Structure 1
Amino acid sequence: MTFEQLVIFVATAEREHLTQAATALRLTPSAVSASIKALENFYAVKLFDRVGRGIQLTREGRVLLKEAKETLARVKVTEAVLAELGNLRTGTLDVHASQTIANYWLPARLLGFSKDYPGIRVNLTIGNTATVAAAVIDGEAELGFIEGDLDEPRLAASTIASDKLVVVVSADEPVQHDHEIGKLKWIMRERGSGTRSVLEGALSELGLDPQTLDVRMVLPSNEALLSAVRQGGCVTALSETIVSPFVENGQLRVLDFNFSPRRFTLLRHKERHRTAPAREFEAYCHVHR
């Protein structure tokens, strides 16, 4: 059974007249008759009786008419949904982002996008660079946002903003060796995080081996790093955006390390289809840097 056969059957059943149905559908009467006969023959059922010079629905035909009209109505609803998806009036977008971007860069963009497209629901999942990349590769997320670079041939990456990593210490902590990283005690993010990978890359550019750092503690979130470093005794590296309020209120002090700016990177799969919301939000992020 095809969609066209259902349309022809309903038009004929509602009028109980082949010629009138053919005129309404802009088909020939013979084409309408052939379509009805094909249905009857394939399913071994009689849909119309010839009564005098006209036709009337059989019992089986009345049953099919009810089901067919409901099916065609559902198709119309589906067409409307597809039109709304294409026109960004409704839809869902799954985004994964690393902590710094998710907490400090994305919220303003998500809010602006939501105002422009109130029918689009955005689901945000926070992770680290490794988990974000895996989500985009596996299709769990259409877009991913990470800090720094990623060498993954399955993913397309584009820069959407930049940020600077700084080394901070409690403002009350006396540090005599600002430039002697090997003599500092460190609190670090976990391996796989963008913050840690960017820091290790920056240290390598300065000719320093990250493996030689005196790492006293590894913590899984930026908030945990902030809380720990404010207690004194250790230094940590975080986004300048994150630490600025604590530097301004006198809780933290920035040490004199000049790291190059790091990139905020948008990831998408090179081969997977992107929905209209994903395409639009990607463009929105590039415009609203």
Structure 2
Amino acid sequence: MDLRNLRYFLTVAEQGGFTAAAEQLHIAQPAVSMAIRKLEQQLDLPLFDRQGKQVRLTDEGEVLLRHARTILQAADDAEREMRELHTLERGEVRVGIPSMLGSYYFPPILMAFHHRYPGIRLEVVEAGTRKLQQMIHRGEIDMGVIVTDIPPEDLETQCFLHDQMMAILPADHPQAEADSMDYEAFFAEELVLFKEGYFHREVIDRISQEAGLPPRISFEANLIPLIKQIVSHGYGITTLLKMVVADDPSLVAIPFTQPVWLKLSLAWRKGHRLSRANQTFVDLVLEQAAPIERR
């Protein structure tokens, strides 16, 4: 099966039409149509129902689509690994990182990696852990940071950080000098939380459900500077890792009475051999992690 024709097929399926696929591939539309016809002739099966400019996958096309993604991803992986087999002067690392860690934990690591391996292209994608898992499976990124209290069965994981989630209060809050904060007191407050799909929001939603304490969400935002400003001005409280407010005198971090520990890991597709560049990035992350953080 010709990989080029298979790639054209995948693009038509994803773009929903031959013209849109041709534009995406930067080739003439007749070339796309010819490639699909050859593929259908080779398989002796119809892959698309053609209705004017719109096309729809047949049942046979749906089956091929699943295989096409796997085959093309494997081909791309093989090509990239062959390029990088003997040298780290070239290569690519595509990693997904949630904004909290991307802003306060990873910058020194990313800069150190670029300094050591300036020829390797480093692409960083910001998203919540749930979306990052989906992007890993689709092959859009090579690896991503996820919470692994319960490791996913379909991903390989390597823990690099074990840290405590803290209640974040303005410095003049009545409980700012308390040793800890219980769940009942926390959920009685107006809350400023990340949107769904981010790891610290998922943890709070789980605690709320288990404790039977509905959250009083006053603000939802994914911008950490905005969240910190809202909390420091007394419009609510939130939860973050302590590192996020370590240098901010207007905010205090208090542990929960029942400590909330997060186990954060780099994750990639199970059974997928990391390229040399990606493995080198994982090794650097683990090298920079303190021993206590990897327990």
User: Equivalent of 2:246, from 230, 244, 247?
Assistant: 244
Match for residue 260 of structure 1? 260
Q: Distance in 2 between matches of 1:114 and 1:85?
A: 19
Q: Quick one: distance in 2 between partners of 1:195 and 1:223? A: 16
- TM-score of the superposition, structure 1-length normalised? 0.63
* In 2: Cα distance, 1:255 partner to 1:93 partner: 36
What's the CA shift for 1:256?
Answer: 5.3
Matches within 5 A, 1:166-181: 166-175=166-175, 178-179=181-182, 180-181=185-186
How many residues align structurally?
A: 204
Q: Spell out the pairing of 1:113-262 with structure 2 (5 A cutoff).
A: 113-149=113-149, 152-175=152-175, 178-179=181-182, 180-201=185-206, 208-209=211-212, 212-246=214-248, 249=249, 251-255=250-254, 257-258=256-257, 259-262=259-262
Percentage of pairs with the same residue? 19
CA contact (8 A) 1:90 1:119 kept: yes
Counterpart of 2:285 in structure 1 is 285
Cα distance change of structure 1 residues 273 and 167 upon mapping to structure 2, 3 Å threshold: same
Q: Which runs of 5+ in 1 are unaligned?
A: 1-78
Aligned CA distance change for structure 1 residues 135 and 149 (closer, same or farther; 3 Å): farther
Structure 1 residues 221 and 148, CA gap change in structure 2 (3 angstroms): farther
Q: Residue 90 of structure 1: CA displacement?
A: 0.8
Residue 271 (structure 1) aligns with: 271
The alignment's TM-score, normalised by the length of structure 2, stands at 0.62
Corresponding letter in the other structure for 1:183: A
Structure 1 residue 209: Cα displacement: 2.9
CA shift for structure 1 position 120:
0.9
Radius of gyration: which is bigger?
1
Once residues 209 and 219 of structure 1 are traced to their aligned partners in structure 2, the CA distance between those partners, rounded to angstroms, is 24
User: Take 1:105 and 1:125, find their aligned partners in 2: how far apart are those partners?
Assistant: 15
Contact 2:95–2:125 (CA under 8 A) maintained in structure 1 = yes
- Work out the CA distance in 2 between the residues paired with 1:95 and 1:226: 26
**3-state SS of the aligned residue for 1:163?**
strand
Q: Secondary structure at the match of 1:261?
A: strand
> C-alpha distance in 2, partners of 1:239/1:103?
12
In the TM superposition, 1:23-34 aligns within 5 A as none
How far did 1:129 drift?
Answer: 0.7
CA spacing shift, 1:83–1:141, aligned 2, 3 Å? closer
1:76 matched to which residue of 2?
A: none
Report the Cα offset of residue 273 of structure 1. Answer: 4.1
Quote how far apart the aligned CAs of 1:242 are.
Answer: 0.1
Cα distance, 1:99 vs. partner? 1.2
Residue identity matched to 1:115: H
Q: Does structure 2 retain, via aligned residues, the 8 Å contact 1:98–1:147? A: no
In the alignment, the residues of structure 1 paired with residue 95 and residue 237 of structure 2 have an alpha-carbon distance, to the nearest angstrom, of 32
Which shows bigger deviation, 175-184 or 94-103? 175-184
* 1:136 to partner: Cα distance: 0.8
Gaps of 5+ in 2: 1-78, 290-295
Distance of 1:100 and 1:233 partners within structure 2 = 21
